[in-house]
Amino acid sequence: MRRKASLVLLACAVFCAALSPLLRWYAFPRLARIPPNQYQDMVLEAKGATLLDYGTMRAKKVPEVTIVQTLKGDVAAAKNIERTAGRPVVVWDSLSYVQGPDGKMVSKIPERYIFDAHSQDPVHATGETVDGDPVTRKGIEFKWPFLTQKRDYEYFDAQTRTTSPIHYEGTRTFRGLKVYYFEQTIPWTKVPMPKSMPVKGITPESVARTGTTRWYTTVRRFWVEPVTGAPVYGEEIHQEELRGGTLLGGRAKVTAFAGHVKMREDYIEHTVALVKHNRTLVLMLTSYVPWGSLTVGVLLLALSLWLEARARRPQDPAATGTPEPEPVSA
């Protein structure tokens, strides 16, 4: 009976030991994916910002500038691209909508971002654009990969349409979460005018005819939860200028926008709560269940060996009830 029990325990131990790497290296890449139908929005604010008044072409201080960012997954487009890409793909339609203190639009820049659902590597396909212009992204954007490492990453900047390193600057604690802090500085760079302008009749083409150009610089900061790769907080020290041309009336440059852009408090709370929930799910696949399964397997193996050893031990005649043979005299 003991030998049968030890064989059953041995089989269970082998199953648990095999399940551990299977979950980590097979199930995790297939289950930990960004859903193709994801929708999320984010509100950021720049209080005490400087904004260009296009009526007077003068910069002025305003109480607040609001940036609303939305991400919406296109499921049908993702399925079409997957057929040729041979891997799970997510297609995000993003919109960055900037409005002044009066609620009127300052600018809006749409993007189509196509990437691998698990690794977050960009996938190049027709429709990959920024403000209607075709682009070929390199590096990440919006989100870091699952199990983010303590190293620099290549990060795509939508304004300049270029990729440059975003540097790992250390580990910190944010709202009870261990996070990695990343920072990227984009130097002053000439960038295209937004196709949607705040004043009717003013277009990028009409501005270009005046000889006026748009320049931009920013310091981009992210606090990233490393298990999920999701930023729990982000901010930018953002500056834009119009330079040269007849549009400025002889001035060399004028500030179009300058402000310290930060996430609004209610969106910080929502993001932290969501990331904590998703972090637990990822840890179930990468840590909790694999290590738990391996531990159970080792314990079952030990118990199986113990029972097998008990089964092989010579039995005590007194315990079996068999009488000892009487001595025979001559």
**Length, in residues, of the chain:** 330
Give the span between the Cα atoms of 73 and 62, in whole angstroms.
34
The pLDDT-based confidence of 290 (bands split at 50, 70, 90) is confident
Q: Which pLDDT score, from 0 to 100, does residue 60 have?
A: 94
Interval 308-319 mean pLDDT: 64
Given a contact cutoff of 8 angstroms between Cβ atoms, the answer to whether 147 and 226 are in contact is yes
Q: Which residue has the higher pLDDT, 10 or 112?
A: 112
Q: Give CA 50 to chain center in angstroms.
A: 31
The pLDDT-based confidence of 3 (bands split at 50, 70, 90) is low
Question: Residue 136 burial (CB < 10 Å; 0-12/13-18/19+)?
Answer: exposed
Full DSSP string of 200-261: TT--HHHHHHHT-EEEEEEEEEEEEETTTTEEEEEEEEEEEEEESSGGGTT-SEEEEEEEEE
Cα dihedral 27, 229, 189, 243, rounded to 10, equals 120
Question: Can you give the three-state secondary structure of 117-186, one letter per residue?
Answer: CCCCCECCCCCCEECCEECCCCCECCCCCCCCCCCCEEEEECCCCEEEEEEEEEEEEECCEEEEEEEEEE
Q: pLDDT digit string (tens) for 188-225? A: 999 999 998 888 888 889 889 999 999 999 999 999 99
Interval 306-326 mean pLDDT: 62
